[in-house]
Structure 1
Amino acid sequence: MLLVEFFGAMAAQHGATRDRAWDRGDGWGRGHGWGDGSQGYGITHLDALGFAIVLAGPALLLLRRRYPVATLAATGLLTGLYFLRAYPYGPAFAAVGVAMLGAIVAGHRLVTWAGTAVSVAVYFGITALIGVPFDQRGKPGALFPVEEPSVGGVSVVVGWSLAVLVTAELVRMTGQRAAERDRTRAEEERRQASEERLRMARELHDVLAHNISMINVQAGVALHLMDGDPEQARTALAAIKDASKEALTEMRSVIGALRAQGETAPRSPTAGLARLDDLLDRARSAGLTVDAETAGEPRPLPAGADLAAFRIVQESLTNVTRHAGPGPVTARVRIAYGEREVEVRVEDDGRGAPLLDDHRDGSGIRGMRERAAALGGTFDAGPRAGGGFAVRATLPLTGEPPDAPDSGDAGAGAGAGPGDPAERDGQ
């Protein structure tokens, strides 16, 4: 800006050459004028004060971010002084234009608009009092040889001021919209990251709760039968091996997603109802009697519904294993394929966990409910009238999922209140 104003002022001074009648004593306004015969305009040649004003205006702009109003006031005074002295027109107004832009972008809109209006009015009021005719502009010997205001001059100054102010407002609004877009994008990224962490927490919970429960049950069986029935103990140990291998495989899948630097295609099968038979076999190896029933025509499901159905069955069987109580327990798993939804129902005839469970702060039932809600489905869980426990989920296969559940209700690991069915949930 300093270079623009300095060289612009020098060029304006050179271009405003007029017949210096006062040097020859033959009167004002007569002589050669412009090279094409038109009349030039008078100026006060740049002196020490003029150069100081030309240099000071751009230098003050260094302070516009920290002191926008003070910078605007100072550059406005310097610009007014420059034109009152009748120096060459040039780009001397550029510094105050930048100061106006900076003040509005910084949020000082009212001060800038009002200050500009008052400054323009005061300037033309002063020039109306002390101004000289245009053909005597820059007359030597006068401290402020500024021309009288004219309709053209007032129109130019007012129009330029409005143009700068409107441009500054547009820049401010553009910046605000960009900042709002950035904030919205950042909030969306944080929301998506939170949902992804919640999803992975559910996955880890379901994997660990199911497989560790199976390992715990089979380890107890193996210890109990180690001496009396070694063959059955060996079977239990084999089941422990299979369950631990399954847990490790799925944990590697989830943790690998956490470590991934970019999106890559999955390299292992995704959990779904296609693996339901394996899941039921592991539950049977833990000592449960599991009856499975499929209604409707089985078919491939959308990935979200397929995974949710599998995890709901997995978590329900885990809860049966842990909390159904002593004695032979039968679990009934029913998958009903509808035209637009799939229903998952898991029931057992166990006696249930005691009311004062040591693990009431689990999130298994809460996680199942969240999985169903995330797909726009329904979920119910609670004691059965004839004894035992029942879980029922309906997962839609079409339509858009609703907004994600509020994070205050969806935190993984949140405790269940008194009387909530989650009292049956041990993880």
Structure 2
Amino acid sequence: MEEQRVRGHGPVRWWRYGPPWWDRPDDAEPRAARLPWRSTVLFTGVVMVGSNFAAHDQPHRVPLDGYARVLLLAASVLLLWRHRHPVFVAFGTAGVTLVYLGAGYPYGPVFLTVAVSCCTAVADGHRRAAWTAVGLLWAGHVLIALWLYRLLPPPGDAGGTIGQEIVIATWVLAIGALSELARVRREQWVRERADRAQAARRRADEERLRIARELHDVLAHSISVINVQAGMGLALLDRDPEQARAALTTIKAASKEALGEVRQVLDTLRAPGAAPRAPAPGLDRLPELVEQAAGAGLTVAVEGTAPKLAPGADLAAFRIVQEALTNVVRHSGSRHARVRLDGDAATLRLRVDDDGPATGADAGGSGNGLAGMRERAAALGGTIEAGPRPDGGFRVLAVLPLRTAAEEDDR
């Protein structure tokens, strides 16, 4: 309702959008589609009123009459189309101004229309046309002031001098320089805005990939455990109800943990920049991962101890181990896996092995999980090697730096 009231025919709408009989384009349309009527009204007032004051100080020139005011009004009204047709308006204002001066009328703010139209043309990229229009106006003025003044009004005009024309040329160059400065600043602003938009899109893409990776790792592992336990529970439901009950208990625990981690990921979407409600998982939760794998029928042996890691590296290491064990559960016939942790002062080596054999054509994973592991490692400056072992089975080897390049620079 407020939007409709403001866009009615009251004074607010007049000031914002122009008179009601003018069609105002939608806000989504480009600037060139809009008529700059407010600034044009301001320029017209300055030209008309200023010319009257200037005429009082130039009694030797032809007094302002109706024809002079028509020329002043025509030069000013042309500014309405300076964004739509900048070249035409630049030459039009220059031509009208030259006719005005040739008729012997007083000097004054009529030059403002030429300056505004040429500045707009230069800012819109029509530099040659703007400089040509200004040059023709100056050349015409030189011709009138130095040679044709005897044939044109007012009678008895003494004409101009070379020095006066040089001063006028200096002003023309100054206006042109300001126009070029405005053009350069506008192009720089456009580039900066495009760079900011591109950076924002890149950040959004990176965040989307990060969230997709997190959701894939959480859901793939938990659903794999749930799938194995559900199959076991169905097979044992009639002949061994206690084992079926244990399988259902594991399903409940896995689904609860998955929901908690998914909720943690989604919380970052609801409140960007807010601190998570629970700490991100790391290698300190490796025993829980081993226990979940055991619930899916996979025995995991862990060797070695991981050094203290930064939160980002700790999360990446945990997710890599989680995804590797998930692939063993889903794609390997082996019910045994080995996780080995080796660390030194610079790197952490994670190795996950199983003895196979593969149970399907997509052994080792369908591709998304391995791609996610590689992205996590690459984000930290590390590497991932994944593939069949020469003696059978499958191996995932991750090498992660303990410090990122940014942390090294800070040191």
TM-score by length of 1: 0.81
Q: Aligned match of 1:220 in 211, 214, 231? A: 231
Q: Does 1:277 align with 2:319?
A: no
Q: Deviations over 1:338-370 (max 9, x none)?
A: 212222111111211333x49975411111111
Aligned to 2:51: 9
Residue identity in the other structure for 1:4: V
**Residue 147 of structure 1, CA deviation:** 4.7
Which residue identity lines up with residue 49 of structure 2 in the other structure?
F
Question: What is the match of residue 100 of structure 1?
Answer: 118
- Corresponding position: 1:342 with 2:342: no
Residues 146 and 361 of structure 1: CA distance in aligned 2, closer, same or farther (over 3 Å): farther
1:146/1:158 Cα in 2 relative to 1: closer, same or farther (>3 Å)?
A: farther
Partner of 1:171 in structure 2? 182
**Alignment CA distance shift 1:146-1:360 (3 Å):** farther
> CA distance change for structure 1 residues 282 and 359 in 2, over 3 Å: closer, same or farther?
closer
Give the counterpart of 1:65 among 73, 83, 92: 83
SS in 2 for 1:127: helix
Q: Which has the higher contact order (CA 8 A, sep 6+)?
A: 1
User: Which residue is equivalent to 1:392?
Assistant: 397
Report the equivalent of 2:378. 373
Residue 115 (structure 1) aligns with: 133
- Which structure 2 segments of 5+ residues have no match? 1-42
* Compared CA separation, residues 401 and 391, structure 1 to 2 (3 A): farther
2:104 and 2:402 mapped to 1: Cα distance?
80
* Off by >3 Å, runs of 4+ in structure 1: 357-362
Deviations 1:212-238, CA, capped at 9 Å, x for gaps: 000011111112222332222222111
- TM-score between the two structures when normalised by the length of structure 2: 0.84
2:345 is aligned with what amino acid?
E
Which structure is higher in helix share? 2
Alignment of structure 1 residues 19-418 onto 2, 5 Å: 42-132=60-150, 139=154, 142=155, 147-260=158-271, 262-295=272-305, 298-299=307-308, 301-325=309-333, 329-355=335-361, 357=362, 361-400=366-405
Contact between 1:376 and 1:401, CA under 8 Å: does it hold in 2? Answer: no
Kindly state the Cα deviation for residue 401 of structure 1 after the two structures are TM-superposed: 6.7
Larger deviation: 118-127 or 240-249?
Answer: 118-127
Q: Distance in 1 between matches of 2:353 and 2:102?
A: 94
Partner Cα distance (1:124, 1:146) in 2: 14
Identical columns (%): 46
Contact 1:308 1:372 in 2 (8 A): yes
> For the aligned residues, what is the CA RMSD?
2.2
Q: Is residue 331–residue 347 contact of structure 1 (8 Å, CA) maintained in 2?
A: yes
Runs (5+) with no aligned partner, structure 1: 18-41, 403-427
Change (3 A) 1:6 1:119: closer
Distance, in Å, in 2 between the alignment partners of 1:102 and 1:53 is 21
Equivalents in 1 of 2:310, 2:124: separation in Å?
Answer: 51
Write the letter of the residue equivalent to 1:47.
Answer: D
**Aligned-partner residue type, residue 221 of structure 2:** H
Instruction: Answer whether contact 2:364 2:387 (CA < 8 A) is retained.
Output: no
Instruction: Tell me how far apart the structure 2 counterparts of residues 199 and 146 of structure 1 sit (CA, whole Å).
Output: 79
Asked if 1 retains the 8 angstrom alpha-carbon contact of 2:98 and 2:140, the reply is no
CA drift of 1:210 comes to: 0.2
Q: Which is higher, the Rg of structure 1 or of structure 2? A: 1
Measure the CA separation in 1 of the matches of 2:304 and 2:379.
24
- What is the alpha-carbon distance in structure 2 between the residues aligned to residue 112 and residue 175 of structure 1? 17
Contact 1:375 1:401 in 2 (8 A): no
